[in-house]
Structure 1
Amino acid sequence: MDNIEDSRLQSRHPSLSTEIEENVIDYVYSVDDITTLLNCALTCRDWLPRSRIHLFSAIRLSTREDMYSFCDFLDTHLEFPMLIRSIIMAPNVFEKKPACLLETFPVQLLSRLPRLRGWALRNDLASDRERNISHHPIILRNLRRSSPVVDLDLESLKFASLTVFLRFITSFVQLRHLRCNAIRFDQKGGLKPYGIGGLNLTTLQVGGIPGGALCTLLDRTACTLESLGIASQQDVDGVSAMLSRMSNLRSLTWDIQHEMDWDRITEALSGTPTVPTFMSFRANIFNLDDLWCLKYYGGKELVFTFLEMKLQSFTINVCAKKVHPLSTTIRSMTMFAKFSDEGLYPQLIFTGATFLDELYRPKRIAISPNLQRVAATAQGLDGGILLWNISDGISVRSWHIVCPMVVDPAVVSPQVVFSPENERVLIVGVQGYAYVQDLKWQCRMASIRCAYSLFAAWSPHCIVFLTRTGTICTWDPATYRPIQDYDVFEPLGGVTAEQCRGALLFSPDNHWLAAHFNAQNGLATWILFRVVPDCGGGAKLINPHSLKELSSLAGSAKESPDFRFGEVAFDLESTRMAVLDRLVKVHIWDIAQATPIHALIVDMSTTLAGSQFNNQSLKWPVLPTKLAFSGDGRNLLFLHLKGDDSQKKVQLEVCCAKTGHLRNPLGMQGILGSGPPVRISCDSDAYQFSSCGRYLVASPETGGIIVWRTSDGSLVRRVA
């Protein structure tokens, strides 16, 4: 009995369901693996019907003998004509007269294939001595009456003239999709309209045809065309002018071979009137000598033209021969822009990029108010924006690149500011523009045109900009419209963006705004504003107080304070404010009253004896320093660097915020561990305290970010 049971078990073979088997065969067909598809047809009887459907869906004929044999096969096997949906006519070396094969197709096969939808004519072996393809008028008339062809593919064909070519393609009255590549004409001359019908194409892909023929095709199908693909750069101006007439155009793809062609295309398209239905643009750029010859990763004029259009996608595929040794490590890249459901401004982001190495150098860092995200501008991407997601302010979970196309590498690295609700980020300092990006939908929400803006701060009531002319501008965060300008700083003529230094900071309760502005070797001060929300939206800045004048009136400072450091901090209760001056003294004000009171001066120079800050002749700008109140408001945190150029160490000084007594300094771990020392950038913008003073984020020169706890100086996380 046991032997009988074993034999029964061995005779049973596992089998798949019919749906799974058919899905496997469909996948083999989708990847165009004909050899495997033939093996599937010969494997078992159950797989044959599904495999036969795909094998007979497209037939390729290479000689006239093949065509005659195929016609005889169709006459004797009446079940197969219903399976054939596409015919490919491609003469091979055994066909002595390729033109005859390409011309006889309508007569021999049209009546035998009732479900035919696609027809392809390809003559890859054509030469200049090959005779022209010509169809008798009777054949064209029969095509016009009964042709079911919807897709037509023409490649490497030679016609007598443009007129003959147009008469041929207009004979297919149901034609909707046309692909033409490497089409030549034996004669050049004017177009003869006799015998040429209309075209109702929805898709047109062209390449390697004369510019006059392309413009003629576009002229005859402009009203119905929805998708246009161009693989040549001839007559760029003529094609661009046609776009305004394509009322139904939704997608445009353009293959580009050289930098000069890209410049011509972007210039022509920038001046083209907007197509109401235009939703997608794609550029495939090949064989570039240098990736960075593309301005703004793909043409500033074209980018800003499409910013005002409700595009669903904006894709640029780039492949460069070499990489600029100083600018970037990107070999190739794919970028696209997408919109939110509301159809707002797009955001350009990387979808795929090939890097020689991953080296990102954050320049200016911002921490979201809820301690969940860190954003920074990246030196390795010429000012691109990096975004890290932080879980509970402790562990860095993931990071991705956001919006690398909005920055001009020629200007100063822009500033990144989070919105109060943590869902938006403001990128300011990009040639007079400021961009509002939605972090949830990864789309651009607004472009703010604030001239010469360099610094910004964001509160629930207003967005404040500080320009390099010393003007403070307020904008409505709901409508992104200007509210009022305040000329509180003395304008400095002839000052570049790199020479300006400033800062804007709202108090935690958003009732105070501290503003700082100065230029190299110029006077500087802090001005404190009272922020009054407006019932109609926005806010006003009233009662400006100069901290330098308040210090002089108080008489608590023996020397006139020099506020060129530009560092300020508020406590969480918004009752005190601390400012660092150039003499390494921390001035603390009581801002609970209507007029700030100069309450305390903490002299840090004695603690920093022997360090870089004990040099009164040190020229501006000095090494980076940062200020912050601790979370409980009892201590004041002061950041500085110690050590020589070969080995720098971040040190956090802690002093009592009431008495000014210094506590033991905290060495920030993770910099000088057991491995080789890590160089820390001397740029003060590469460091940032969280608003509550619990965490410190910095960027080493090797890239990435480092997060510490300010309570004990312990390392939270490091991302290379």
Structure 2
Amino acid sequence: MEQQQEGGSLGISAVSNMSTPDSMIPFPTELIETIIDLVDDEQTLQATSLVCKSWVARSRFNLFRVVELCLPTHLDRFSSLLASSPHIAPHIKEIAISENSLLALLRPTMAIVARLPHSLLRHPHVKPRRLSVHHQLWLPTRYHPEYLAGLSQLSSISSLDLYDVTFATVADFSIILRALRCLRSLSAIHLDAQRQLPPEELAAIGTDLPLLTHLRVMSQYPTSVIDWLLRYSRFPALYDAEVSYEISGIDPSQGLGTFWTATGSTMENLSLTISKRASGSSLPDQAIEELFDMSQCKALRALRVDCRHEREVTPDWAWLVWSLSHLPRPSALHTVTFAFQHSSHALATLHQFTADLDRVLAESPSLAFLHHVAFEFDYRNPSEIDQDEAALLAKFPALQERAVLRIE
């Protein structure tokens, strides 16, 4: 019998030998595995791993697929478990770090993120595909001199998810991206820097992400870290992007406009959420032209505009009308989706701009290939009693005549 380890927030345990014969299980293996996949409780997964031999692999997969590290002792216990039970290594697909502690600030070299590369390299059979870092002060230049060299050896990591992560400067973010050179997916949500760099230094530390195909960014103003990423990074293979961005009038440092030029030749799918810093005020024409000129997005095929955050009584959608009317000619765009909370929300939000949207979407020469305009609601009432849904459709007669308008 193998030694049982305490799981805690690590989500890790060892498995003992089984005594129940597989022939006693009357269900197909596929059904059993589906049921085990639905279990999200560690103790239950430990129990399923003890039932019989055929349940072990799937139980281990779900127990060890994501390793969560929240305290420095978690990393030590994880390393000890790998040393005693190396057979779990192939099941580990994601390392999730969430260390919101004073230790990361007072003793940076003892932080989990500082010690992780060395710990993983001691166990070469562990090849995680995803690294998630939450609520972390990440200071790579204050760690061991060999830290970045160790990080660069974790070549199996193809996805990096950052949530509420703070760097000393954008330069720290840049060298982390350079070290993780095999990234194919990047999520950068609410990143910050303790100190700002002058524009000439920001340009000098720009980086290439040659394999990146999926990008998700979310930032509220000021957006310095995200602006650097959008303005000074190159994404020659980017296919799918989700951008949530807050705008503050005319700000030459904001990088959204540059991003369209850098990704225009490859990006096919875009989900866009735009908010304004000053509620109720219209964006200046200069800001719209600088930030929403998507005429270089010649590969764009699907555009989703997420409006669920919008709660202003008279929101400003002039940027959207302008952007749609300035797509490349001809545009490859064939699907436009508007996401709202419900039909009443859509009707009230688009009230002053429905005529302009209907005209641009139905009549613009750039949108000759458009064959699907959809309203996507979080929830719907039955169509026969939803008067706002019918009223919303009535606001788009030209699209209805082209038979491309639908509600999902």
Q: Give TM-score scaled by structure 1 length.
A: 0.42
- Cα distance in 1 for partners of 2:100, 2:239 equals 35
Give 1:242's match in structure 2, choosing from 259, 266, 281: 259
- Cα distance in 2 for partners of 1:13, 1:166 equals 56
- Cα distance in 2 for partners of 1:166, 1:156 equals 16
Q: Does 1:81 align with 2:107?
A: no
Instruction: Name 1:486's counterpart in structure 2.
Output: none
Q: How many Å apart are 1:59 and its aligned residue? A: 0.4
Listed one character per residue, the Cα deviations across residues 239-284 of structure 1 (whole Å, up to 9, x for unaligned) are 1232023121122222334576996797666533142211222222
Greater relative contact order (CA < 8 Å, ≥ 6 in sequence): 2
Q: Does 1:22 align with 2:33?
A: yes
Q: Residue 307 of structure 2 aligns to a residue in which SS? A: strand
What is the percentage of aligned positions where both structures have the same residue? 18
Instruction: Name 2:380's counterpart in structure 1.
Output: 354
Q: Which amino acid aligns with 2:31?
A: I
1:266-415 residue pairs with structure 2 within 5 A?
Answer: 271-289=293-311, 293=315, 299-305=320-326, 309-319=331-341, 344-352=369-377, 354-355=380-381, 380-381=390-391, 384-385=393-394, 406-407=396-397
Instruction: Name 1:368's counterpart in structure 2.
Output: none
- Cα distance in 2 for partners of 1:33, 1:305 equals 51
Q: How many Å apart are 1:102 and its aligned residue? A: 1.9
- Cα distance in 1 for partners of 2:224, 2:233 equals 12
More strand by share: 1
Quick check: 1:287–1:321 contact (8 Å CA) kept in 2? Answer: no
Give 2:114's match in structure 1, choosing from 103, 113, 119: 103
Q: How many Å apart are 1:60 and its aligned residue? A: 0.5
Q: How many Å apart are 1:87 and its aligned residue? A: 0.7
Name stretches of at least 5 consecutive residues in structure 2 with no aligned partner. 1-22, 352-360, 362-367
When Rg is computed on C-alpha atoms for both structures, the one with the higher figure is 1
Q: Which amino acid aligns with 1:301?
A: W
- Cα distance in 1 for partners of 2:26, 2:80 equals 39
Quick check: 1:144–1:171 contact (8 Å CA) kept in 2? Answer: yes
Quick check: 1:250–1:280 contact (8 Å CA) kept in 2? Answer: yes
Instruction: Name 1:198's counterpart in structure 2.
Output: 208
- Cα distance in 2 for partners of 1:13, 1:40 equals 15
- Cα distance in 2 for partners of 1:68, 1:266 equals 51
Listed one character per residue, the Cα deviations across residues 328-368 of structure 1 (whole Å, up to 9, x for unaligned) are 99xxxxxxx9xxxxx8322323354535985578xxxxxxx
Q: How many Å apart are 1:106 and its aligned residue? A: 0.9
- Cα distance in 2 for partners of 1:273, 1:48 equals 54
Instruction: Name 2:148's counterpart in structure 1.
Output: 140
Instruction: Name 2:356's counterpart in structure 1.
Output: none
Q: Which amino acid aligns with 2:268?
A: R
Quick check: 2:192–2:225 contact (8 Å CA) kept in 1? Answer: no
- Cα distance in 2 for partners of 1:137, 1:327 equals 54
Instruction: Name 1:54's counterpart in structure 2.
Output: 62
Instruction: Name 1:118's counterpart in structure 2.
Output: 130
Instruction: Name 2:239's counterpart in structure 1.
Output: 226
Change (3 A) 1:327 1:151: closer
Root mean square deviation, CA, Å: 4.3
Q: Which amino acid aligns with 1:316?
A: F
Instruction: Name 2:272's counterpart in structure 1.
Output: 254
Q: Which amino acid aligns with 1:229?
A: E
Q: How many Å apart are 1:16 and its aligned residue? A: 0.7
Q: How many Å apart are 1:84 and its aligned residue? A: 0.9
Quick check: 2:310–2:349 contact (8 Å CA) kept in 1? Answer: no
Deviates more, 1:287-296 or 1:239-248: 287-296
Q: Does 1:216 align with 2:228?
A: yes
Instruction: Name 2:194's counterpart in structure 1.
Output: 186
- Cα distance in 2 for partners of 1:65, 1:295 equals 51
Question: Paired residues, what number?
Answer: 349
Q: How many Å apart are 1:302 and its aligned residue? A: 3.9
- Cα distance in 1 for partners of 2:243, 2:217 equals 5
Q: Give TM-score scaled by structure 2 length.
A: 0.69
Q: How many Å apart are 1:157 and its aligned residue? A: 2.2
Q: Residue 288 of structure 1 aligns to a residue in which SS? A: coil
Quick check: 2:313–2:348 contact (8 Å CA) kept in 1? Answer: no
Name stretches of at least 5 consecutive residues in structure 1 with no aligned partner. 1-11, 330-336, 338-342, 362-377, 386-403, 408-426, 428-433, 445-720
- Cα distance in 1 for partners of 2:197, 2:336 equals 38
1:504-515 residue pairs with structure 2 within 5 A?
Answer: none
Q: Does 1:437 align with 2:384?
A: no
Q: Residue 80 of structure 1 aligns to a residue in which SS? A: helix
Change (3 A) 1:275 1:232: closer
Quick check: 2:118–2:150 contact (8 Å CA) kept in 1? Answer: no
Q: Residue 79 of structure 1 aligns to a residue in which SS? A: helix
- Cα distance in 2 for partners of 1:379, 1:223 equals 41
Quick check: 1:237–1:268 contact (8 Å CA) kept in 2? Answer: no
Q: Which amino acid aligns with 2:80?
A: D
- Cα distance in 1 for partners of 2:174, 2:27 equals 52
More helix by share: 2
Quick check: 2:193–2:225 contact (8 Å CA) kept in 1? Answer: no
Q: Residue 245 of structure 2 aligns to a residue in which SS? A: coil
